[in-house]
Amino acid sequence: MRVLIACVGSAGDVHPFLAIGAALARRGHEVELQTSPHFRLRVEAAGLRLLPLGDEDDYRRIVQCPDLWHPHRSFPLMWSQMQRRLPQAHAALAARVRPGDTVLVGSTLAWQTRLLQETHGLPAASVHLSPLCIFSALAPARLPGLPSLRGWPAWLVRALQGAVERGAIDRVVAPGLDALRAQLGLAPVRRVMSRWAHAPDRVLCAWPEGFAPPQPDWPAQARTIGFVRWPAPPGAALPEALARFLDAGAAPVGFTPGSAMAHGRAFFDEALRACAALGLRAVLVTPYAEQLPAPLPPWAIAVDYVPFALLMPRLRAVVHHGGIGTGVEALAAGLPQGLAPFAHDQFDNTDRWVAQGLGLRMRPGRWAQGLGRLLDDPMLAAACTRQAAALVDTTDAADRAADAIEALRPPSGAAGAPGR
């Protein structure tokens, strides 16, 4: 079977699809992953074929735009990038279809897979990495930059979600998406995120039920599979300078605003002030060194990239942006989490980690107090240890995803012809 996977986003968005693709490849399937060539080495290390989505300049351009991390302006920015590449992305995937033996897998915003499903009549699965991707009036996720709607009447939540979708999503997306759909012979769509973004065959929710329990108003085809983790590649090791730093003193606190955050100077300034006040050592993780003061104090070290599966077990705690991938690795290591969300799903993820006693929201100008509590609260430490076992189970979620994707394999002899 040929599996065509498409995903968009930063490292935390791509890594779970590397794990799913590798699980399918181990079962003998041909797996091709369409994503930014920024991740070429990681895709190839996973044993997958890369289908480039755009070029390296596309990735650099959007990362360097501050609006990417604005809770309200980020989606229009992302759509402008997606819209420009969507026709080519659809065509590139279509060229790789093997009639009668192809299954599609798409991330939440990899809409080329939804279009290809419609134009070619192919089976497909949507994989959502965070609960924000499911519109539920019964257990609403927190939308970026807005207050939580939990506890509000379902009818009112439903009305507010509908207003947000019409005004902030459909209004932005519809002109370009419907123009492309018309070129492909497809009808216009509305309710893009709450309905159309979910593949009708299968929706895989990549979190455990303890993180976001299924609700009666979820899509009927949705199934939770657990957190999908991408392990460190075989033979991977900590950078030599980092290993020496870790060995030379007490366990430090890790800080990262996310692998695609190029505007995190205030984040790192807060981190260094808090560590100086508390006498802590620090590991700062960012590929954008211009965000950091120079020189760093001797009790801090910066690295551009390190597999979190290797780093997290060496830390006392981690302070991050609320990204789902970083949070899951912290959880797996039993670390308390300081959370400073910027945009996207980070506000909702933060609310969930905090509600489950796994971390604290970091308040501007008060990081020293927050970090001190994070390290000294025995109840929080106990909750992290307990929930690590409950939420990050030993069964491989990537294999559960592979099982669900294999179940979509077309019957022998299916034509896979274009279908309008």
> pLDDT tens for residues 315-325?
999 999 999 99
Query: Could you tell me if 134 and 152 lie in one domain?
Result: yes
Is 224 in the same domain as 255? no
- 206 in a structural domain: yes
Residues 138 and 257 both lie in one domain: no
Confidence of residue 281 (pLDDT cuts 50, 70, 90): very high
Q: Are residues 40 and 175 in the same domain?
A: yes
Does some domain include residue 411?
Answer: no
pLDDT recorded at residue 232: 82
Phi-psi region of 365 (alpha: psi -120 to 50; beta: other; left: phi over 0): left
Q: φ, ψ for residue 228 (rounded to 5)?
A: -95, 115
pTM above 0.85, yes or no: yes
- 63 and 190 part of one domain: yes
56's enclosing H/E stretch is: helix 56-63
Does 121 share its domain with 208?
A: yes
Looking at the predicted structure, is the pLDDT value of residue 16 above 60?
yes
Would you say residue 234 lies in a domain? Answer: no
How confident is the model over 31-82, as pLDDT tens digits? 999 999 999 999 999 999 999 998 888 898 898 998 988 888 899 999 988 9
- Distance in angstroms (rounded) separating the CA atoms of residues 154 and 140: 9
Return the pLDDT at 81.
87
Of 72-81, 150-159, 291-300, the one with minimum mean pLDDT is 72-81
416 assigned to some structural domain: no
**Comparing C-alpha atoms, which of 160, 150, 145 is closest to residue 194?**
160
Confidence of residue 411 (pLDDT cuts 50, 70, 90): confident
Do 181 and 320 share a domain, yes or no?
no
CA 377 vs CA 45, 271, 382: distances in Å: 40, 19, 9
In this prediction, residue 420 carries a pLDDT of: 32
Domain range spanning residue 314? 240-391
Q: What is the mean pLDDT of residues 80-91?
A: 93
Band of the pLDDT at 418, cuts 50, 70, 90? Answer: very low
Contacts of 69 (CB under 8 A, 6+ apart): 261, 263, 342, 343
Signed CA dihedral, 309, 311, 312, 318: sign only = negative
Q: What is the domain-level CATH number for residue 262? A: 3.40.50.2000
Question: Backbone phi, then psi, for 48, in 5-degree steps?
Answer: -110, 160
- For 177-204, the pLDDT digits (tens) are 999 999 999 999 999 999 999 999 999 9
The count of domains in the chain is: 2
Exposed/middle/buried for residue 175 (C-beta within 10 Å: 0-12, 13-18, 19+):
exposed
Share the mean pLDDT of the chain: 93
**Which burial class, exposed, middle or buried, applies to 234 when counting CB atoms under 10 A from its CB (0-12, 13-18, 19+)?**
exposed
Residues 218 and 94 in one domain: yes
Q: Are residues 402 and 386 in the same domain?
A: no
- Residue 245, class by beta-carbon neighbours within 10 Å (0-12 exposed, 13-18 middle, 19+ buried)? buried
The answer as to whether 415 is a domain residue is no
Alpha helices (runs of H) in 184-247, residue ranges in sequence order: 240-247
- Same-domain pairing of 37 and 180: yes
Residue 301 lies in a domain: yes
- Among the residues of 105-239, which ranges form H helices? 111-120, 154-164, 171-183
Per-residue confidence (pLDDT) for residue 146, from 0 to 100: 87
Q: How confident is the model at residue 134 (pLDDT cuts 50, 70, 90)?
A: very high
What would the pLDDT profile of 204-255 be if each residue is shown by its tens digit? 999 999 899 999 999 999 999 999 999 888 888 999 999 999 999 999 999 9
Strand segments (E) across 253-307: 253-256, 282-285, 300-303
Asked, for residue 384, whether it belongs to a domain, the answer is yes
Which helix (H) or strand (E) segment is 318 a member of? strand 317-320
Asked if the peptide bond before residue 298 counts as cis, ω within 30 degrees of 0, the response is no
Describe the strand order of the beta sheet including 282-285 as a list of residue ranges.
Answer: 300-303, 282-285, 253-256, 317-320, 337-339, 359-361
Is 414 inside a domain boundary? Answer: no
Average pLDDT for 113-121: 97
